[in-house]
Structure 1
Amino acid sequence: MAVKIRFTPFPPAPRRRRVLFTIAHYYAASRDGKYGSTRASARDARRQALARTIASLHETVAQPQSLVHGPVHGFLAANDEDSTAVEVVVCTTGDDHLVDELDLPPGAFRHHRTRAEPRLLGYECHAVLRDAAAEHDWFCYLEDDIAIEDPLFFGKLDWFAGWAGPDAVLQPNRFETSENPPVRRLYIDGEPVSPGKVGFVPDRSEAPWIAAETLGRRMWFGRVVNAHSGCFFLTAGQMRAWAAKPDFLDRATSFVGPLESAATLHLLRHFRVYKPGRGNAAFLEVRHLHRRYLDTMLVFV
């Protein structure tokens, strides 16, 4: 039996944080597609992943959020001390996308159309971020199969930025999960067998490891060779500093390949890039919605 409950819109919470997300999305089926974005059999999965990526941003970090409160026969505002306003821009090229097939409410995202070369689409996201540099507090880039599931995600980023300084960037650990042993949760972006194979290795001699006490324990953060997470998150000051560099929008591809370079290369060029250490890997993490590693690339023997 449904319970009737009164819903009264909350007055706008003081906005402590404004976040702009850009998502690079491409899909064009081909018979021999190497990536999920080009495999005909992956169409439904790609559409679902993009929808989940967008929805996770609104569901996890955006306001309004509520608490059912019986004494008033309605709701009370929840998490309003950490309120966040979210804007999502999906960047595509030509007609090679699934944006028109998404079943999402109006206003969930803005569609930014380009004519970019598909493998360099991430750089169109960089341009969108640059053009909004005066309007937001955090500037974020996501591949189209990354979900944020931690409501404290930006609170942790705020904490790290205030503690580690403006030249330090914290990348999340990207994970996949499985219902079956031997591995339930796998962080998929470990260090490469040969550092030189990633194509660009920064000088990590300055502060290779840093640590701080938080949440009742000592947390470690390391500068790793494989800083890739399929995403990045920059403060307004970091975004402005990066956009002023001569190599901004140079469309370089020297870190693994063009897709990885759009997410990671310029962070490594201009910042001290950290990830949470192995012992506290879950401190900051994002879900990889396609279980490519657990389902297809790894065989446990």
Structure 2
Amino acid sequence: MRIIFTIAHFFKPSNEGRHASQRKNPQTRLQALTKSLTALHQLFDKSQSIINIAQRLALPANQPQSHELDIVICTTKNDHLLNQLPLPPHLYRHHSSNAEPLLLGFECQAVLQSSLGQYDYYCFLEDDLIIHDPWFFIKLNWFTQQAGDLNLLQPHRYEVSSHGLVHKAYIDGDLALRVTAPFQKVQEQQELKGTIMNTPITFCRALNPHAGCYFLNANQMAQWANQTYFLDRDISFVGPLESAATLGIMKTFRIYKTSPEQASFLEIQHFGTGFLGLIGGQVGLAER
């Protein structure tokens, strides 16, 4: 397969420092983006080998699950850290713009639109998300084969820590129904069920479809890009960041996530512990 990833990346220190992209120290953002890019290549590109000890030869490995990747990092003005990335520049392409920082997700949509017909998957990631599952696209493809292209499976975002009250927390739990009611009808096909490796699995319409990312096959990307609202820069879902990442796909597809009992089936790491650290303070811990 051919896969294009677009990544919205921004960094500009600010006294407010509300987002990680505004902190004084760039190291956390650099580390997150480095891990994100490295993981994409290590998991999905063709440069994978197994060492045959008897022959003292590195032979190809995982080739049926490896792909041709193009990674495009979308930035605005000079507010980025690409010149500090400890990675070879050939691992990605730089798309510079003058977009408003909070609207970089829409700039990524424009890049995806310009690439229609060239790829099998069209993907968007915020710059602090890391995939760890080499079967990620196999799972996505299985889901659409079973459910159809109008149903879109989103991953659960999670954070991890060895020092918190919990070691792993999924951070995009249910929103109040009224938050997404103007954009989706979760009462339609509320659940889909399947079986994988003799294990039953349940997919639920997402009351919180946001994941800071999306992964569309070619048919889904063409379907979305053909809508009148595509690239309308509507920011009416929560805020600009959330709208750029999620509103368009929420209007176009029935979005599912796995039930909490099987949240790890399709997941993506959110770098840091900004949400997990709320547990025990602003977020109570339920009794087990």
Task: State the Cα RMSD in Å.
Answer: 1.5
- Structure 2 unaligned blocks of 5 or more: none
Deviation for aligned residue 1:62: 1.5
The counterpart of 1:160, out of the listed 143, 148, 161, is 143
- How does the TM-score come out when normalised to structure 2? 0.94
User: Aligned residue pairs: how many?
Assistant: 283
- The separation in 2 between residues aligned to 1:69 and 1:200, in whole angstroms, is 57
Q: Find the residue that maps to 1:40 and give its secondary structure.
A: coil
2:125 aligns to what? Answer: 142
- How does the TM-score come out when normalised to structure 1? 0.90
Deviation for aligned residue 1:295: 3.0
Q: Find the residue that maps to 2:228 and give its secondary structure.
A: coil
172-181 or 115-124, which deviates more: 172-181
The counterpart of 2:216, out of the listed 234, 247, 261, is 234
Q: Is the 8 A contact 1:195 1:201 kept in 2?
A: no
2:20 aligns to what? Answer: 36
Is 1:183 paired with 2:166? yes
1:91 aligns to what? Answer: 74
Deviation for aligned residue 1:78: 1.1
- The separation in 1 between residues aligned to 2:280 and 2:68, in whole angstroms, is 39
1:66 aligns to what? Answer: 49
Q: Is the 8 A contact 1:191 1:226 kept in 2?
A: yes
Deviation for aligned residue 1:298: 5.2
2:32 aligns to what? Answer: 49
The counterpart of 1:124, out of the listed 107, 117, 121, is 107
Deviation for aligned residue 1:183: 1.1
Q: Find the residue that maps to 1:228 and give its secondary structure.
A: coil
- Structure 1 unaligned blocks of 5 or more: 1-16
- The separation in 2 between residues aligned to 1:200 and 1:120, in whole angstroms, is 21
- The separation in 1 between residues aligned to 2:140 and 2:261, in whole angstroms, is 19
The counterpart of 1:76, out of the listed 59, 65, 80, is 59
- The separation in 2 between residues aligned to 1:252 and 1:270, in whole angstroms, is 14
Q: Find the residue that maps to 2:116 and give its secondary structure.
A: coil
- The separation in 1 between residues aligned to 2:50 and 2:76, in whole angstroms, is 41
Is 1:263 paired with 2:222? no
Q: Is the 8 A contact 1:136 1:236 kept in 2?
A: yes
68-77 or 253-262, which deviates more: 68-77
2:201 aligns to what? Answer: 219
Identity of matched residues, %: 41
The residue type paired with residue 72 of structure 1 is Q
Q: Deviations over 1:47-88 (max 9, x none)?
A: 111111111110112112111111221122111122211110
Is 1:278 paired with 2:228? no
The counterpart of 2:3, out of the listed 5, 8, 19, is 19
